[in-house]
Structure 1
C-alpha cells in the first residue's frame, strides 16, 4: 500500500504572467498592484491608480520586456526555476512530505493549491514565502493571504510560517559560491542591489522609527533596533556576504531597485549608485541581487539589460550579474532546513 504524505510544505513565489502577452501581463499587474500590502493606500484610490493609469500604461511595455526573457521551451524563468526547486525539495524530503508550489499572483494560484492541500487532510503545513528578507509587501502578503484562505476550512491542520531567512548560512554560502565564479578582484566596485519599497512601509513596521529611517543606512539596525525592518535584513544579508567573501570597506555598497511612483522609496537608488560610480570613473561592476532566489525579470532584464545599458551610457564598460540561487543543491539543502525548521 502506498504511503500517503502527512506533512505539507508550501513554497510561495511572487508570480509571473501565464504568457508574455499584453492581456496576461495586464492581469498579472492588476492582481499584483491591487494588493493592499503592495500599494498601501485606500482601496478606491488604489483602484483608480492601478486600473486607470498603471496597468493601461505599463501592460504592453512590460509584455515586450517579458518576451525578451521568455524561453520558447521553458517559458518564464521564474516559473521554470520555481518548479524545479519544488521538485528537488520533494525529492530531498521524501514521500512523508507533500511539497506544493503556488504563486502569490496568478498561477498556480494560492486558492487552488491550498484547496488541493485541504483535501489531503494533512497533519501540518509549513509555508515558505520565497523571499529571504521580510517585507509586508512580499512575505507579509503571502502569510496574510494563506491565513485568509485557511480560516474558512473546517479542519485546520497545524500551520507554521517562515517569515525570513536573511542570514541563513547555506543561503549565504550559495550566493558566495556563485559570486566566486567571477574574478572579484577584477571589478572596480560591487553592488548589493535589493528590491525597493516605499519608505512609509518601513515606518509602518516600526512606527517609532525616525522619519529618515529609509535613508539612514541601517548598518546595525537588525542587531540593535528593529530586527523586523526590511532594510535591516537587507544589510544583515550584505554583512554576511561581505564577511564570507572578505570584501574590503569601500569596495562595495548597498542600493535599492525597482521603484514605482513619485513617493520616497528606500535609498540609495540603484540608478543613482550607477551614476555616481560612473562619475567616479568606475568601469566594471559586479551586482548581487540577494532579494531573489531565482532568476526573474528584475535580474535578467532590469539589472543585466536596463542598468547595464544605463551604466555604459554614462561611460562604464561592464555590469556583470551574480547568478540567483536557482538550482544549486546547497540552496535546496537550505530550503530543506527551512521546511524542517532546522535553523542554523
Structure 2
C-alpha cells in the first residue's frame, strides 16, 4: 500500500553558541543564493570579507544569552512540536532544519527508505512566502530527491498567512497578553530586501510600484511577503478586536546596506516611547517558534531600547511554539493539506 510522509522544516541553528559553530552556521546560511541573491563570487566575497571576520563573535554572544540546557531554543521547541504532532497522526513525520542539524538530507533519505512511502509532504514552518524561507526549502528538497534519485514525489504544503484557523490559533495564544493593560501592539516581522519582493513578483509590474500595491488585487500577492504580512496583521487585529490606532507593523533583523522593508522595529519602538507609550506588546508572526530573533533581538535588545527611550515595559508575546491548538491544527493540515 502506498503511503505518504511529512517533513517539517524550519530555518535552523548553530550546534552550539561557540564562535566556531556560529561561523560554520552563518557560512552555510549566508552562502545560500536565496538569502544573499548575488552571483557566487560576489556572495563569497561579501560573506568572507565583511561578515565572517566579526559577525560570528557577535552572534555567538547573542546565542549564548538565549541558549538553554537542552540546546538551541528553536530546535528544542520544534522537537517538542514534532512530538505533539506525532500524537495526532499516524503518518511518519520528521523534523529538519534548512541550515544546520537535524539536516534535510538525512531526514528525507530516512523517510524515503520506507518502500511504502511514495509521496513526501514538505511543510515549511513559515506562514508567509519569501525566497529566503519557503523557496530555499523547496529548492533544497528538490535537489536532495534528485541527487539521491529517491523514488518519491514531492508535494509542498501551501502557505497559510491568513487562514482563519491559523489566525485563530495565533490570537488565542496571544490572548493572555492582549488582556493585560498595554498602550500599543507592534507586529514585528523579519525583514527582507526590497529587491526580493520585486524578484518574487511574477507580473514584474505590481510589487512596490505604488504605495498601496499590497492592497490592490493582484496575482503577485501569491508570492508577495509584504502583502501577506499585512494580511496577517489585519486578520489578527480584526479577530482580536484591536483598534486601528493601537497597533503598528514593523520589520526587524536587517543585514547589509541594501534597502529593506520599512519601518524598522527599533525605530518604531523608539517612536512609540517618544509619543508617550509606556507599555508595549510585541508579537512576531513570521516565526512559529521562538528563536534568536524573537528572544534576544526583541525580548532583550528591543526592550532595552524602549526603556532607554523612556518606556516602562516591553513584553514579547511568545510564538505559537508547541501550543496544543497549533499542534492539532498542523497535524490536521498534514492529513488534509490546504489547497493552494
TM-score between both structures, scaled by the size of structure 1:
0.93
Matched, 1:99 2:93: yes
1:65-104 equivalences in 2 (<5 Å):
65-72=62-69, 74-94=70-90, 97-104=91-98
CA deviations over 1:16-66 (Å, ceiling 9, x no partner): 011110000111100000000001111111101112220221101111111
Structure 2 equivalent of residue 27 of structure 1: 24
Q: Gapped runs of 5+ residues in structure 1?
A: none
Which of 186, 189, 192 is 2:184 aligned to?
A: 189
Q: What secondary structure sits across from 2:83 in the alignment? A: helix
- Aligned positions of 1:1-344 closer than 5 A: 6-72=3-69, 74-94=70-90, 97-121=91-115, 122-184=117-179, 186-206=181-201, 207-209=204-206, 211=208, 216=211, 220-221=215-216, 226-343=221-338
Rounded to whole Å, the distance in 1 between the matches of 2:230 and 2:216 is 8
After TM superposition, the score normalised by the length of structure 2 is 0.94
The answer to whether the 8 Å contact 1:221/1:232 transfers is: no
Q: Tell me the distance in 2 between the aligned counterparts of 1:301 and 1:192.
A: 16
State how far apart, in whole Å, the 1-side matches of 2:186 and 2:274 are.
15
Q: RMSD across aligned C-alpha pairs, in angstroms? A: 1.9
Q: Quick one: structure 1 residues 14 and 220, their matched pair in 2 at CA, closer, same or farther if it must change by over 3 Å? A: same
Q: Distance in 2 between matches of 1:217 and 1:334?
A: 33
Distance in 2 (CA, whole Å) between partners of 1:5 and 1:323 is 39
Residue-pair matches, total: 336
